[in-house]
Amino acid sequence: MDNQNLKAFIAVADCESFSDAADQLYITQSAISKRIAQIELQIGKKLFDRIARQVSLTEAGKELLPRAQRILKEYEDALQAINDLSGEASGTLRLAISHHLGLHRLPPVLKQFSQHYPNVTLDIEFMDSEKAYEQVLHGESEVAVITLALDSHHNIYSKKIWDDPLRFICAQDHPLANLKQPELKDLAEYPIILPGLNTYTGRIIQNLFQREGIPLKAPMSTNYLETISTMVEIGLGWSVLPETLVRDLHVMPFKQISIERELGYIHHMKRSLSNAAVGFLNLMDKAA
């Protein structure tokens, strides 16, 4: 099967849309439809059902998808291995980066990398740390730079680069800002705006209050820390955020409580790293 046809098939399966897949691959929708039709002609089976503008995989499509993903990955790995024989870093480096790190920690490293390795094309996806972890685990990204997981998979190598202290914060005119020596039980009286409970940061905060047996009052949640900072600033609740997002907010002085998260990179231990990935990780190590 032609690799371009397989890419079109995978894109439609991921997007559940022919038009969105066309946008993702920068080709026309008719070109996408033609490539899918060519695969269907080859295998003699329909790959997608289209009902009321909804696109879903048929049974044949579900059987083909993981195999198509594996074929493309092996093909791309082979090309990268051949490129790496020269000893130079070239080709494409696929990175998964958390939104927060992409904004506040990585720009200097990415700038250095682009200067040192001009023949490498960076393919960067910005996403939640949890999704980035899964991307590396399933071979969809070579390296991820994320908030490190509380529990790591045995096939994942992780390295801490930065400690990221977390601060209890509220608006300057919030009632909690008037407390000179606040306690955790004081916070339970007011609404909290949390990172999603499915995130590593959200779990760190939840674990702290659960250990103390203190229930939190109807938490609002969002995975975007910058959004939380804005919501706290206008007085919708208090939160726990990294120091980089404190800005003009009031930091509550908890002397006996210290919590932090670890930021760093991960890669799959059973995957041979490309020269580009090795170069990138060397720059990350220097940033520690």
Is 171 a residue whose pLDDT tops 90? yes
Identify the pLDDT of residue 218: 64
Asked whether residue 112 is domain-assigned, the answer is no
Identify the pLDDT of residue 247: 83
Least confident of 5-14, 87-96, 109-118: 87-96
Confidence of residue 271 (pLDDT cuts 50, 70, 90): confident
Q: Which of 69, 88, 120 is the last residue of a domain?
A: 69
CATH number, residue 177: 3.40.190.290
CATH number, residue 43: 1.10.10.10
Is 15 a residue whose pLDDT tops 70? yes
Confidence of residue 286 (pLDDT cuts 50, 70, 90): very high
Report which of residues 51 and 134 the model is more confident about: 134
Largest CA distance in the chain: 73
Report which of residues 217 and 172 the model is more confident about: 172
Asked whether residue 208 is domain-assigned, the answer is yes
Confidence of residue 58 (pLDDT cuts 50, 70, 90): very high
Q: Which of 36, 69, 102 is the last residue of a domain?
A: 69
The total of structural domains in the chain comes to 2
**Strands (E) located in 233-284:** 239-242, 250-251, 259-268
CA 241/CA 258 separation, integer angstroms:
12
Asked whether residue 168 is domain-assigned, the answer is yes
What's the average model confidence in pLDDT over 140-157?
A: 90
Identify the pLDDT of residue 281: 96
CA 65/CA 52 separation, integer angstroms:
23
- 221: containing domain: 163-259
Is 30 a residue whose pLDDT tops 70? yes
Confidence of residue 216 (pLDDT cuts 50, 70, 90): confident
Confidence of residue 113 (pLDDT cuts 50, 70, 90): very high
**Residue found by looking up tokens 């041979």 in the block:** 272
Asked whether residue 141 is domain-assigned, the answer is no
What's the average model confidence in pLDDT over 175-188?
A: 92
Asked whether residue 270 is domain-assigned, the answer is no
CA 153/CA 136 separation, integer angstroms:
11
Identify the pLDDT of residue 284: 96
**Residue found by looking up tokens 């919030």 in the block:** 174
Percent of the chain residues topping a pLDDT of 90: 56
Structure tokens at 233: 């600033």
Asked whether residue 62 is domain-assigned, the answer is yes
CA 75/CA 11 separation, integer angstroms:
17
HSE-up of 198 (CA within 13 Å, CB side)? 8
Asked whether residue 154 is domain-assigned, the answer is no
For the residues of 36-51, what is the DSSP string, one character each? HHHHHHHHTS--EEEE
Identify the pLDDT of residue 51: 83
Is 222 a residue whose pLDDT tops 90? no
Asked whether residue 136 is domain-assigned, the answer is no
Identify the pLDDT of residue 220: 82
Q: Which of 25, 53, 69 is the last residue of a domain?
A: 69
